[in-house]
Amino acid sequence: MFETKSQFLNWLSTQNKFSIKLHLTRVKRACELLGEPQKKLKTIHIAGTNGKGSTCNYISSLLISSGFKVGMYISPYIITFNERIQINKEYISDEDLVSCANEIMPVIEQVEQEMKDEMTEFEIITLLSFIYFNHKDVDYVIYEVGLGGRYDATNVIKPIVTGITNISYDHMGVLGDTLEKVGYEKVGIAKPNTTLFTTEENASVLNIFENYCEEVSSKLEIISMDEVNNYLMSNHGMKFNYHNLDLFIPMLGLHQLKNALLALKIYEFLMNARKFTVLDEYIYNGLLNSKWGGRLEIIRKNPLVIIDGSHNIDGVKTLSNAMKYYLDQGYKIKTIFAALSDKETDKMLSLLQSISVHLTLTSFNYYRANTAVNLYEQTNKINVSFNENYLEVLTEAMNNVNEDELLLITGSLYFIAKVINFFKTLDKDC
């Protein structure tokens, strides 16, 4: 029995991070032993390469604004593990975490004994969330896919509606080496007699979606950005018009309009299904209160510092496009970057160099983190430096940012979590 959160997390860290056996047998058997708790929840399932967390957050905010009690399951977390499981934006308490962990432990032990196989860390957390949300009697739960879709532990849920943000190259060793293969894994969340919404635009990927949805009797709705107009980006977020509604999201970048539009379509679908009258103020206030940390977030205004968890090529492309707004305003961008070692970083580094007057590469204490020198060797070394100690890099950068410069800190979300802690410490010392 666990007595503290630390005890549980220490034990959890000893479990497999991933399994070489990609299937849902373990988590399905665990759910069976627990009485199928996932089937008692009204769920929304969101997959995609980038923008999953933001989309989940928008949907949650819209539903909360409309008076519902909304669970959300996300990964990874930024500051504290408890972020992964939340209700109406409040994180699961340490007490509830320990209680639910103790409740599922006998089942985990039985499954592992029966199958002679260890449940993964993600499977266990997902299982724990099913128990927690059932205990708290929520109206809806939004589940963000961890990896892929078809064999992701979250794919044992029976969602009311599903959504896919986009398809890009990421986790190719697991999901496949073409966009079509990756798309096939992601669309595996589509379920019979449900609707799948997507903002994906690639024709060959959409063909995969269409074929799969037809095969499993799922309705595919392809969302067009034509429904959004008069958009304007500022240092505070994005203004835009949707069906004669003037709306605002406190998030930067045109890509966030896609995420918000996907969320709006799913929200409208849910409200129509329950014949709920949607007031304009629900939508306006829902999006207004949808701030999402670590994603193109302005963490300092003087000097201007932006942090962003762009951890794959598609994310860095999106980030680079967003930074053109600041380049047009006359800012010179100094960039700090750290990444995981299993990412294809050479193209990411080239893009970051193209928007930066200087690029500093660093590393951080995490078992999958790449070294700064390894990243450096992937560049042309022009206006590029490296230092393995990210604290030294951040401290020096903050002491040397001029008024006409913008400090951009990006890369792995695990790195961004440490960056946020650095700035919190800085605030305390001031």
| Tens digits of residue pLDDT in 400-425 | 999 999 999 999 989 999 999 999 88
What pLDDT is stored for residue 18 in this prediction?
Answer: 67
What pLDDT is stored for residue 188 in this prediction?
Answer: 97
Q: Tokens 């798309």 label which residue?
A: 183
What pLDDT is stored for residue 255 in this prediction?
Answer: 87
What pLDDT is stored for residue 120 in this prediction?
Answer: 94
Q: Tokens 């007699």 label which residue?
A: 193
Q: pTM to 2 decimals?
A: 0.90
What pLDDT is stored for residue 271 in this prediction?
Answer: 97
What pLDDT is stored for residue 234 in this prediction?
Answer: 84
| H or E element at residue 125 | helix 121-135
Q: For residue 290, how many C-alpha atoms fall within 13 Å in the half-sphere facing its CB?
A: 33
Q: 381 — alpha (psi -120 to 50), left (phi > 0) or beta?
A: left
φ, ψ of residue 395 to 5 degrees: the values are: -60, -45
Q: Tokens 């999958």 label which residue?
A: 368
| H or E element at residue 228 | strand 228-233
Contact between residue 138 and residue 49 where contact means Cβ atoms under 8 Å apart = no
Contact between residue 163 and residue 223 where contact means Cβ atoms under 8 Å apart = no
Q: Tokens 């409309």 label which residue?
A: 66
Q: Which domains does the chain have, with CATH numbers?
A: 5-288 (3.40.1190.10), 297-429 (3.90.190.20)
What pLDDT is stored for residue 77 in this prediction?
Answer: 87
What pLDDT is stored for residue 174 in this prediction?
Answer: 58
Beta-sheet pairing, 219-222 with 195-198: parallel
Locate 305 and state its tokens.
């510092």
What pLDDT is stored for residue 199 in this prediction?
Answer: 96
Could you give the CA distance from residue 304 to residue 359 in angstroms, rounded to a whole number? 16
What pLDDT is stored for residue 168 in this prediction?
Answer: 83
Could you give the CA distance from residue 311 to residue 50 in angstroms, rounded to a whole number? 9
Q: Tokens 């005890």 label which residue?
A: 7
How many residues would you count in the chain? 430
Q: What is the pLDDT along the chain (430 residues), one digit of tens a residue?
A: 899 999 999 999 999 876 556 789 999 999 999 999 999 999 999 999 989 999 999 999 999 999 999 999 998 888 899 999 999 999 999 999 999 999 999 999 999 999 999 999 999 999 999 999 999 999 999 999 998 899 999 999 999 999 999 988 765 555 667 999 999 999 999 999 999 999 999 999 999 999 999 999 999 999 999 999 999 988 888 999 999 999 999 998 888 999 999 999 999 999 999 999 999 999 999 999 998 888 889 999 889 999 999 888 888 998 999 999 999 999 999 999 999 998 889 999 999 999 999 999 999 998 889 999 999 999 999 999 999 999 999 999 999 999 999 999 999 989 999 999 999 888 776 5
Helical ranges in 24-93 per DSSP H: 25-33, 52-65
DSSP letter at 37 equals G
